[in-house]
Structure 1
Amino acid sequence: MCDDLTEADNARLLGEGLSRRAFGTAAAAIGVGILLPSPANALAVKGRDVTIRTPDGTIDAYFVAPATGRHPAVLVWPDIYGLRPAFRQMADRLAESGYAVLTVNPFYRSATAPVLAASGDRSAIRGKAGEYRKLLTPEATIADATALVAFLDKQREVNSKRGIGTTGYCMGGPLVVRTAAAVPGRVRAGGSFHGGGLATDNADSPHLLIPKTRAGFLIAIADNDDARAPGDKDTLRAAFAAAKRPAEIEVYKGAMHGWCPPDSEAYNQVQAERAWARLLDLFSTTL
């Protein structure tokens, strides 16, 4: 999970030689990152900001899909820094590959995505989001996932006869499993990237929900996350095997927590592209 320990670990391994304050300032422009390449034969896409009603309020989100036709849907849970330009860029890229993509603000109960982004540097944003995240309980996630899937199935760009995929980054990783368990009749694929808290000792640990899912999974683990919790991958492998659910579980060597979003200080282009390719392969075989 992205916390002060992870940030300090990343700073040390990256060899920035910056003070904690300087490190936060250098990464203050959250959302500004590397321009991702479009896929070969990229489809033309159209995106729009949307709002979705839930029992707890209104979710602000970004929806993008190919400009024509109906396509499998994908629900994206961002990392602790929330919905921002980097995740819009990632959504556009996924849409260019033929998917109708909804990327949400998971902290809507407390603040809109623009309000969170205006909180300050990465440290300030993470601090506020850490508090907001406390409202995203397992029960709240079920309610959100149910509402979001229902929204997707009503969009003209979505082929509701095809399965839905979901992806999550950092704190979004556990939400992927919870979403797949909450709406098993619709979710057919889940991708977790440097997800934290997938396997815990708690009674509500996400890995205990795996038998309730009907999805195939990609679990991409950061090297330093694995070093801190080396037993998690084995617990996950055992849980997927016991439930007879297909899962590709891999530690991405040399990739640090947060290596996938292009605005992350830990962004690793080679490993991010490999993880992206594995996600597209999962979607092509399950959705």
Structure 2
Amino acid sequence: MCHSPDSRPPAPPVVGEVAEHGETTLTSADGTTFLAYRAVPAEPNGRGVVIFPDVRGLHPFYRDLAVRYAEAGFHAVAIDYFGRTAGTGERGDDFDYLPHVRQVTDEQLDADARAAAATLPGPVFVVGFCFGGAHAWRVAASVEGFAGGVGYYGSLRFIDGWEPKGPGSPVLMLLGGADRGATPEQFAALRSSLERAGIEVEQHVYEGAPHSFFDRSATEWAEACADSWRRILAFTSRHG
């Protein structure tokens, strides 16, 4: 399970200014209103990111991460998954997210991702973590309108049974070598299925790094976090 600390996410290699940031609400195609957190760069790089959080939805870590992306020049929006089941009200530390996670469907997440992407200029990428990491790969491979998908230590059980059907956008897989959420064989099988469907895959494994190395173990794995930032900047520049 993913448990991010309250500290800010690791900084991008070059930190710029943020023009504005704050909580907002978006409306999906089915009329659902859901929470989001947007951040606008002072010096845009011409690209946008939709951030898919871990199983807890729009946790403060991911609000701060949207700001980090804006510091790197991206128009960014982090989304919540639970507008249909938990509404848009305040949630305390005792929020029981698991029953809500189990009710999220691929179709709902896709619609919410599209609604978020529609608010961003330029080529838009999805970047996800754990639950969101697996779905970032799935969305990039199967939903039109995204330039690519980046997934950190995607929990493959959340996309169990899904198979890419045709050419989609490129994906970047950032994996922890000591991740217990999925086996190397399972990640290899996903990569093979993506490549068979004609999807370009870039993968990097941080040997010894655990699941959630970018958040709960960021201090210990600072070098891996910094390297992942560099890879994301290169990936989005190349495909944007």
| TM class, shorter-length | 0.7 to 0.9
Match of residue 223 from structure 1:
177
**Aligned-pair distance for 1:178?**
3.4
Post-superposition CA distance 1:87-129 (Å, at most 9, x none): 222221211222100101112223357733x133xxxx5xx21
Pick aligned residue for 2:70 from 89, 95, 101: 95
Post-superposition CA distance 1:183-219 (Å, at most 9, x none): 32x21111000111179662xx2xx126252x22111
TM-score normalised by L of structure 2? 0.86
Hey, what's the Cα distance between the residues in 2 that align with 1:77 and 1:85?
13
Which ranges in structure 2 are unaligned for 5 or more consecutive residues?
A: none
Moved beyond 3 Å, runs of 4+: 34-39, 112-116, 198-201
TM-score normalised by L of structure 1? 0.73
Give SS of 1:109's match.
helix
Match of residue 130 from structure 2:
170
Matched, 1:211 2:166: yes
Q: Highest CA radius of gyration, 1 or 2? A: 1
Pick aligned residue for 2:110 from 130, 139, 142: 142
Contact 1:199 1:232 in 2 (8 A): no
**Aligned-pair distance for 1:67?**
2.8
Which ranges in structure 1 are unaligned for 5 or more consecutive residues?
A: 4-26, 153-157
Hey, what's the Cα distance between the residues in 1 that align with 2:18 and 2:93?
34
Hey, what's the Cα distance between the residues in 2 that align with 1:286 and 1:86?
27
Matched, 1:286 2:232: no
**Aligned-pair distance for 1:78?**
0.5
Judging by fraction of residues, say which structure has more helix: 1
Hey, what's the Cα distance between the residues in 1 that align with 2:165 and 2:157?
11
RMSD of equivalent CA atoms: 2.7
Pick aligned residue for 1:42 from 9, 16, 35: 16
Hey, what's the Cα distance between the residues in 2 that align with 1:259 and 1:217?
19
Give SS of 1:151's match.
coil
Aligned positions of 1:169-208 closer than 5 A: 169-181=129-141, 183-184=143-144, 186-197=145-156, 202=161, 205=162, 208=163
How many residues matched? Answer: 238
Contact 2:142 2:165 in 1 (8 A): no
Distance 1:84 1:93, change over 3 A: same
Letter in 2 for 1:218: L
Hey, what's the Cα distance between the residues in 1 that align with 2:111 and 2:195?
28
Aligned positions of 1:1-287 closer than 5 A: 2=1, 31-34=5-8, 36-37=10-11, 39-40=13-14, 42-54=16-28, 55=30, 57-67=32-42, 71-111=46-86, 115-116=90-91, 118-120=92-94, 125=95, 128-152=96-120, 158-159=121-122, 163-181=123-141, 183-184=143-144, 186-197=145-156, 202=161, 205=162, 208-209=163-164, 211-213=166-168, 215-225=169-179, 228-261=182-215, 264-265=216-217, 268-287=221-240
Hey, what's the Cα distance between the residues in 2 that align with 1:200 and 1:35?
26
Hey, what's the Cα distance between the residues in 2 that align with 1:38 and 1:223?
22
Letter in 2 for 1:286: H
Post-superposition CA distance 1:132-182 (Å, at most 9, x none): 012211221222222222233xxxxx23xxx21110000001221333245
Contact 2:148 2:236 in 1 (8 A): yes
